[in-house]
Structure 1
Amino acid sequence: MFLYKVDEELALKLVDMNDAEEMFQLVDTGRNHLKEWLGWLDYTKKVEDSKNFIQGCMRSYADNKSMNTVILYKGKMVGTAGYNSIDWASRTAYIGYWLHKDYQGNGIMTRVARALTDYAFDYHRLNKVDIRAAAENKKSRRIPERLGFTEEGTIRQAEWLYDHYVDHVVYGMLKDEWKDIK
């Protein structure tokens, strides 16, 4: 089992089938808050949907295409984060994340994104880490900004969220830049 200790409070654990019930409950209790920026909530209505998601994550990890983890804060699952995809040809990891509203404001996601960036460069020997967030999602955008990522541009109407399109702001960090920031 993959378990990456971020610090004394935080760890990232590779998602597995044992997480399905707790993950579903976390999504369900945060549904109204999460729905503002995540387009998959309507497809997660029962524990079985979380199981299907986890099976896909496990398959993708086995195929070396992604790495999805649950965020453990003081031993409790509070969200997910990881590489939604890894482009080995371009040596780029694409970080995605969400955090239950009750745990926001504690610096959790900034520490998680920093750890995932470190892991991408140090362990996977990748050249670039990419984080994308909806243009109006200020909280999510602050994470790469805090970490010194470069705003590379905007992808117009990048995602359909229930009844409207949202633009995505793209942030990137190169391995050589990260060395200078750390």
Structure 2
Amino acid sequence: MFYIESMRLRLIPLTHQLLQQYHTSRPEMESALGLNHSEIKIDPLYVTEIEDALVNFWLPKTLAFPERYQWFTSWEIVLKSDNISVGGIGFNGLPNEKKEAEIGYMIYENQQGKGYATEALQAMANWAFTHEEVETVVVQTAADNIPSRKILDKNGFVLAGESENILTYKLVRS
């Protein structure tokens, strides 16, 4: 099984089969990964977004692009010490013609404030930069999402634009 690691975290991209298990039963998917059951607390707004991404993006795209599924799926953010999932992170598809790869992330409410998003974002950006088709990593966040903006600042992302209270941050390969 492919994954990347940082000091405290293991980031596991979910294959099409694992996404199908996730859709049917998250505990079964966690078992298939050999994880301990995670106590998950998610804002209801994000539950709807995750379901939409699962049905309308992750499942169809990982089926269509099995050899490059890592760009089209959710990656479990696993705390190595407890072997539990603390959130998810992933790309919004293949890098575009400007060599930009967009990332989104979410840490479960009961796991926030522990530096996991900062560490996971750094690991994912580093992985993206190992691909020659990526020169810039992009993240969009709500203007009022101060914790997310702090995570981006800690990782060296620079504010690159704003549209309708959505901020765009970019990190260019050094």
Q: Is the 8 A contact 2:102 2:139 kept in 1?
A: yes
Root-mean-square deviation over aligned CA pairs: 3.1
Instruction: State the Cα deviation string for residues 48-76 of structure 1 (Å, max 9, x = none).
Output: x7863652352365274534311111321
Residue type at the aligned position of 1:69: W
Give the match for residue 148 of structure 2: 140
Q: Is the 8 A contact 2:89 2:103 kept in 1?
A: yes
Q: Is the 8 A contact 1:57 1:68 kept in 2?
A: no
Give the match for residue 83 of structure 1: 91
User: Could you tell me the TM-score, scaled by structure 1's length?
Assistant: 0.72
What secondary structure does 1:87 align onto?
Answer: coil
- CA distance in 1 between counterparts of 2:91 and 2:111 reads 21
Cα distance change of structure 1 residues 50 and 27 upon mapping to structure 2, 3 Å threshold: farther
Q: Is the 8 A contact 2:38 2:86 kept in 1?
A: no
**1:41 aligns with one of 41, 48, 59:** 48
What secondary structure does 2:93 align onto?
Answer: strand
Q: Is the 8 A contact 2:3 2:13 kept in 1?
A: yes
Q: Is the 8 A contact 1:6 1:111 kept in 2?
A: yes
Cα distance change of structure 1 residues 153 and 128 upon mapping to structure 2, 3 Å threshold: same
**1:170 aligns with one of 162, 168, 171:** 168
Cα distance change of structure 1 residues 141 and 61 upon mapping to structure 2, 3 Å threshold: farther
Structure 1 residue runs of 5 or longer lacking an equivalent are 157-166, 177-182
Structure 2 residue runs of 5 or longer lacking an equivalent are 31-36
**1:71 aligns with one of 51, 71, 77:** 77
Give the match for residue 12 of structure 1: 11
Identify, as 1 or 2, the structure richer in strand: 1
Q: Is the 8 A contact 2:76 2:85 kept in 1?
A: yes
What secondary structure does 2:127 align onto?
Answer: helix
Residue type at the aligned position of 1:172: K
Instruction: State the Cα deviation string for residues 77-127 of structure 1 (Å, max 9, x = none).
Output: 121101122334221110101110111111000000001111111245510
Cα distance change of structure 1 residues 50 and 149 upon mapping to structure 2, 3 Å threshold: closer
- The number of residue pairs the alignment matches comes to 157
User: Could you tell me the TM-score, scaled by structure 2's length?
Assistant: 0.75
Instruction: State the Cα deviation string for residues 15-60 of structure 1 (Å, max 9, x = none).
Output: 12344423799999524x352xx4x61774xxxx786365235236
